[in-house]
Chains A and B, each alone.
Chain A
Amino acid sequence: GENVEQHPSTLSVQEGDSAVIKCTYSDSASNYFPWYKQELGKRPQLIIDIRSNVGEKKDQRIAVTLNKTAKHFSLHITETQPEDSAVYFCAASRVNTDKLIFGTGTRLQVFP
């Protein structure tokens, strides 16, 4: 069945360093890949997404890359700040379906 694996489960970095979170999906028909950030006690919020017709998308300090052949996509955060500390979830879905399959989450801690 559909599955999204996410690694690592926890990630600690020093402020100013980069952080990379990787996800692998199983459904080759997946073509929409959003990333959500969830701060402690808050709701998940979309931070960036990518469609299958592009290989990379960037928004200020965050970027997402997609490798459809290998069926994996990654979130890159540069110049990390303490406020980036949160749990990050990747997800995947097919076009014309609403169902998102979420990864298990990565807890990112940025130390000042």
Chain B
Amino acid sequence: DAGVIQSPRHEVTEMGQEVTLRCKPISGHNSLFWYRQTMMRGLELLIYFNNNVPIDDSGMPEDRFSAKMPNASFSTLKIQPSEPRDSAVYFCASSLRLAGGWDTQYFGPGTRLTVL
């Protein structure tokens, strides 16, 4: 099992540029989560999907952020335009949601984003 795969692992960009982060969940998992981690704000849930449908996007900071999940094996998080305050580590996680069950979330290695 390859685990959750994220790309790129590191991204350095200039303010105003578009940034796209990618995630491949564990095969067979049906829930996918995007988190942002910073020293100041800790680990924040941005958005999550179940069966490719966005369920809760209340953590998305503003309209500059958007996320898609076109199929069960791929998701993107896009920031346009990027700003220096978006600098953070972005984690993708996936889990297998069963009816009536609690599900372990498995995290990817993260993408370290630096916006200059």
Contacts and interface: CB of A to CB of B under 8 A. Distances in A.
Interface residues of A, number: 22
A104 B45 contact: no
A1 to B, nearest CB: 10
A34 B105 CA distance: 9
Nearest to B39: A105
A48 to B, nearest CB: 11
B104 interface: yes
A100 B48 CA distance: 10
Contact of B45 (A51, A89, A99): A99
Interface stretch (B66-74, B75-83, B95-103): B95-103
A43 B43 contact: no
A42 B103 CA distance: 21
Interface in A26-80: 31-32, 34, 42-46, 49, 51
B34 interface: no
Interface string B2-43: 000000000000000000000000000001010000000011
Given A43-B108, A43-B110, A98 B100 contact: no
Contact of A98 (B55, B108, B109, B110): B55
Contacts, number: 49
A93 interface: yes
Contacts of B100: 95-96
Contact of B43 (A42, A89, A99): A89
Contacts of B110: 43
Contacts of B102: 31-32, 49, 51, 93, 95
10 contacts: A43-B108, A43-B109, A44-B43, A45-B107, A49-B102, A96-B99, A98-B97, A99-B48, A99-B56, A102-B43
Interface of B: 31, 33, 42-43, 45, 48, 50, 55-56, 91, 95, 97, 99-110
Given A98-B55, A98-B97, A101-B45, 20 more contacts: A31-B102, A32-B102, A34-B104, A34-B105, A43-B108, A44-B91, A89-B43, A98-B31, A98-B33, A98-B48, A98-B50, A98-B95, A98-B105, A99-B45, A99-B56, A100-B45, A100-B105, A102-B42, A103-B42, A105-B42
